[in-house]
Structures are given as C-alpha cells and as structure tokens.
Amino acid sequence: MKIQERYHKVIEWFSTNVPVAETELHYKDPFQLLIAVILSAQCTDKRVNMITPPLFEAFPTPEALAAATPETVYEYIKSVSYPNNKSKHLMGMARTLLTDFNGVIPSDVDELQKLPGVGRKTANVIASVVFNKEAMAVDTHVFRVSNRIGLTDNSKTPLETERTLVKYIPGHLLPIAHHWLILHGRYICVARKPKCLECGIREFCKEFNKTIKK
C-alpha cells in the first residue's frame, strides 16, 4: 500500500468513526491548559487531572503563580513526575508570560517555546487546541502509532514524525488528527501489547499486515 493511500484510508476511518476527539486534560482557560500540558510531560493525563484543581484554585492567574515560590508550587504537584523541575518551569513560565508577553499566551509556536518548560510538543498542543492552528504535536503515543501504522517510515525523532504527518495530513485536520493518534495509542495501539483485534484500522496498518503474513 502506498503511503498516500494509507493516509487516505486512516483519515477516512477516523473521520467517520471518531468525529470528535479532544484533549483529556481538564482546563477552563488557556492558562490552565498551558499549566496542565507542562505537567503532563512524562506523566499521565489522569494523574495531572487529579492534582490540578487545587493548583488552579491557588494560582488562577500568571500574576499569582509568578509570585509563588518553587517550594509552595511543589506541594501541589509533588505526585507528578519531576516535580522539582516542573515547579521551577511553572513559575518561570508565569514570570516570562508577564515580562515578555504582557500576560497573554502567544499563539505562535516559536514564541511559545520561549516560555520555560515549553518544548515543541507543548507549543504545538497549545497552538492547535487553543488557537486551532495547523500544528501537529508529537508525543510518545503519536510517535509510536505513526511508525507502527506506517504513516511514517521508522522515524527516529519526534520532529521527523511531525514533518511527515504535516506533509500528508490536510492542514485543517491536523488539530483533530493529533488527538486521533494520541487516543488510539492510549487505548488501542498501546505500547507493549497492542489490541489489534479491537483496532478499526488494522486493515491499513503496516505492522499488522506484516505480522499476519509471517
């Protein structure tokens, strides 16, 4: 199967069967989402959602978070991965947001990456979810699923995966395609033992077809 045909069939299946796909992080405004995405690095959304309500209540604005101390923030997020680093990142993000962006979260991916704790993946999430930009965030799920299905040809880096996905997926579908692939990787195409018999796109999957032909 040629790669263009695989993309067409995968997109068609998801469009029909998963017309709504959204982030599973809980948030009420862009600032809350930015905090949640920073916290979600190498951590589950479920864990992040457990600890963010009191954090959001204590620090509802960039001003409130910027005025805090790392020790104070740590107490709210100590059950997530790398809480010491993330405490510093959250405070640094809030302060940079105030000093460099007048407290307004930028929509540009490059500008977003100037905020502490915000890498390319996080920037792409904010750009696509908050601003509906044509951006593709590549996390571990997207990276794994794309290689397995055959949307990418054994990409070695998230950036390589991102560039390939952006090349073949229509721009207006990139924001939802990001969630299609994440959710598929989270619940069906899981890391250790993918649930191929439950998978609606196995017919178009490079790895599945290679396996059954053995």
Name the CATH superfamily for 30-129.
Answer: Hypothetical protein; domain 2 (1.10.340.30)
pTM of the model: 0.90
Q: 9, 86, 88, 139: which is the annotated catalytic residue?
A: 139
Residues at the binding site for [4Fe-4S] cluster are 189, 196, 199, 205
Confidence at 212, pLDDT banded by 50, 70, 90: low
Fold (topology level) of 3-21+136-212:
Endonuclease Iii, domain 2 (1.10.1670)
Confidence at 210, pLDDT banded by 50, 70, 90: confident
Residues of the chain with CATH 1.10.340.30: 30-129
pLDDT digits (tens, 9 = 90+) for 117-172: 999 999 999 999 999 999 999 999 999 999 999 999 889 999 999 999 999 999 99
Contacts of 144 (CB under 8 A, 6+ apart): 185, 189, 191
Residues of the chain with CATH 1.10.1670.10: 3-21+136-212
Using CA of residue 115, residue 118, residue 121, residue 126, what is the dihedral sign? negative
d(Cα 129, Cα 37) in Å, to the nearest integer?
11
Confidence at 11, pLDDT banded by 50, 70, 90: very high
Known catalytic membership, residue 153 = no
Residues at the binding site are 189, 196, 199, 205
Q: 121, 133, 153, 213: which is the annotated catalytic residue?
A: 121
Known catalytic membership, residue 193 = no
